[in-house]
């Protein structure tokens, strides 16, 4: 660049500065909090979009639940690993498998060609066979309650006069131990089959009539013991009442202090022993004279 060009550029710069200095500053610029000709400092890394700093959330407008592809993880524990190809088939056949497993268990529980001993039905009661080894259908169990109803341990002991040692013999009297329905902290409830209990009671007492006679005899003895106990308590109460009344009717100590006034002496018959009786309290004084 030549010297003439430099001089021309210098003159243009001087003229621009002079024009700026001679221009009037507006009133709004004086009241503004930002000084005039001041450029605000901005961060070079800040994006021009104000929404770009917000964190993106989860889109909850649409949730897909595909039951064919979902697996039961059991809370993350005991997860059975299956192949990807068989997962859908296992999900669809779960109910069928459970139903088939139940019927298989029912079939393996009873012996082959097992029927009800009363009506020869095949709808057998699983509980009676598993605990008492009795083949009875459900209908006969509900209708024949005099044979296939369940008795508690207390009923066997009170009604059939069986002892605890006899009830503990599982070979003769099998029992079914169930949770007590009245309270969880109570002991388990022992249930016996009425057919087994009556059979054992007949072996012990000879017949059901003999059992009834023994039951009546024990009830009579129990009634006699209760009556004797009541009469004993009643006699003790009467004695206490009589003693209390005698204490109340007893004269005071001040009235009992007196001077004895004896009457005439009376010979007892031996010639030297005599007695005198006080006329106030009735005390008898004996003495001898020689």
Residue 38, domain member (yes or no): no
Quick check: 220 pLDDT over 70?
yes
Does residue 126 fall inside a structural domain? yes
Residue 119 lies in a domain: yes
pLDDT at 156: 92
pLDDT one-digit tens code per residue, 275-289: 888 887 778 888 887
Using the CB atoms, write b or e for 185-195: b if 16+ within 10 Å: eeeebbbbbbb
Residue 53 covered by a domain: no
What is residue 64's predicted lDDT score, i.e. its pLDDT? 65
**pLDDT grade, residue 30 (50/70/90)?**
very low
- Interatomic CA distance for residues 244 and 260, integer angstroms: 29
Which structural domain range is residue 134 located in?
111-148
Q: What does the pLDDT read at residue 155? A: 92
Higher pLDDT, 100 or 258: 258
Q: What are the tens digits of pLDDT across the range 263-277?
A: 888 887 777 788 888
Percentage of the chain with pLDDT > 70?
Answer: 64
The number of folded domains in the chain is 1
Question: Within a domain: residue 123?
Answer: yes
Tell whether 170 is covered by a domain.
no
- How confident is the model at residue 32, as a pLDDT? 46
User: Tokens for 254?
Assistant: 């001040």
Q: Does some domain include residue 54?
A: no
User: Is the overall model pTM greater than 0.75, yes or no?
Assistant: no
Is the pLDDT reported for residue 252 higher than 50? yes
Query: Does residue 169 belong to any structural domain of this protein?
Result: no
């Amino acid at each position: 660049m030549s010297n003439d060009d430099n001089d021309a550029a210098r003159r243009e710069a001087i003229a621009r500065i002079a024009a700026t200095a001679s221009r009037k500053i507006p009133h709004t610029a004086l009241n503004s909090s930002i000084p005039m000709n001041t450029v605000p400092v901005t961060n070079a890394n800040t994006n021009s979009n104000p929404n770009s700093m917000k964190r993106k959330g989860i889109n909850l407008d649409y949730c897909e639940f595909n039951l064919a592809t979902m697996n039961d993880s059991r809370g993350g524990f005991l997860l059975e690993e299956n192949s990807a190809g068989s997962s859908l088939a296992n999900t669809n056949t779960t109910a069928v498998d459970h139903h088939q497993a139940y019927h298989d268990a029912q079939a393996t529980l009873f012996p082959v060609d097992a029927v009800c001993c009363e009506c020869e039905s095949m709808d057998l009661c699983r509980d009676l066979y598993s605990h008492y080894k009795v083949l009875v259908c459900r209908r006969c169990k509900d209708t024949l309650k005099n044979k296939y109803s369940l008795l508690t341990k207390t009923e066997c002991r009170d009604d059939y006069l069986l002892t605890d040692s006899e009830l503990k013999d599982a070979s003769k009297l099998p029992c079914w131990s169930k949770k007590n329905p009245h309270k969880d902290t109570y002991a388990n409830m022992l249930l016996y089959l009425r057919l087994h209990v009556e059979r054992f009671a007949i072996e012990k007492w000879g017949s059901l009539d003999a059992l009834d006679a023994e039951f009546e005899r024990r009830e009579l003895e129990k009634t006699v013991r209760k009556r004797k106990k009541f009469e004993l308590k009643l006699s003790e109460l009467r004695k206490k009442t009589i003693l209390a009344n005698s204490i109340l009717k007893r004269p005071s100590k001040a009235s009992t202090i007196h001077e004895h006034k004896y009457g005439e002496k009376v010979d007892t018959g031996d010639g030297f022993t005599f007695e005198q009786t006080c006329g106030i309290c009735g005390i008898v004084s004996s003495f001898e004279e020689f």
